[in-house]
Amino acid sequence: MDSFEQSVRSLLSVADDLDPEDWRRPTDLPGWSVHDVVSHLAAVEHELLVGEPPPALATYGAHVRDAFGQHMERGVAARRGRPSDDVVAELRSCLEQRLPQLRAMRADEPPTRVVAGEDWDATELLRNRAFDSWMHEQDVRRAVTRPGNLDGPGALVTKEMLLGALPVLVARRADAVAGQSLRLESTGALDFSGDVVIGADGRGALSRVPIEDPTAIVRADWETWVRLLGGRMSPSDAVVEMDGDRGLAQRLVDGLCFTP
């Protein structure tokens, strides 16, 4: 919850300093400008606040690939004709209204509202809001060349989500087999590593201690990992160092994206 709040406030501080040209700049998300990304965050928080989904659209752009994407595009489209100051004001207002609700939530109770009908409990909803807000803050910062907050609280939530997903990614998307292992190393703003070992049942698990001689090692700076897991970068454009079994390492990089 604190990560969510910090990321939104950090984004709002950037938004307050943007000029009209900045708002029109494209982001790493196909079809979305800076204005669209901020509109998306405002739309989601508004929906969580009042429970009203955005109006349906007659058609959708090629960048919209599924029903979840259609739902998110509806909220953005509804705000495309609005001044950027209005969208910022809406996001700021929704944040102040949502925070008391968030602080009253209990982890062992379902949330009263979710987005696009997702089956989330309170913990998952908060984790996703923290992750989503921080990722979109970084989308805006990259688009307007105002880097910052790469190691903030939202980054720590994102790191936990990456490490939590890594065993499945290594076992299923990288097609690792029993006995193989892989180490992911991050440098730069967040310096950490995670080792996954594949058991006899073919399932991956994070190792509690560093593996002495992993089958493969992949190494990149933190922002590269963030862009890959968020689908903001093609694997072919990523600068990733690989040691050991390069086929295994490349398959992980190719399949790292786990966001809609």
pLDDT confidence band for 260 (50 / 70 / 90): confident
- Mean pLDDT calculated for residue range 209-216: 96
33, pLDDT greater than 80: yes
Which of 48, 47, 81, 74 minimizes the C-alpha distance to 60? 74
Whole-number pLDDT of residue 106: 83
58-83 residue pLDDT tens: 999 999 999 999 999 999 999 999 99
Which of 93, 95, 125, 119 minimizes the C-alpha distance to 107? 125
Q: Which residue has the higher pLDDT, 259 or 177?
A: 177
Which of 206, 213, 211, 221 minimizes the C-alpha distance to 243? 213
Whole-number pLDDT of residue 107: 78
Tokens of 206: 């994070």
What is d(CA 245, CA 240) in angstroms, rounded to the nearest whole number?
14
**Taking a C-beta distance cutoff of 8 angstroms, is the pair 29, 232 a contact?**
yes
**Taking a C-beta distance cutoff of 8 angstroms, is the pair 253, 216 a contact?**
no
- Mean pLDDT calculated for residue range 169-187: 98
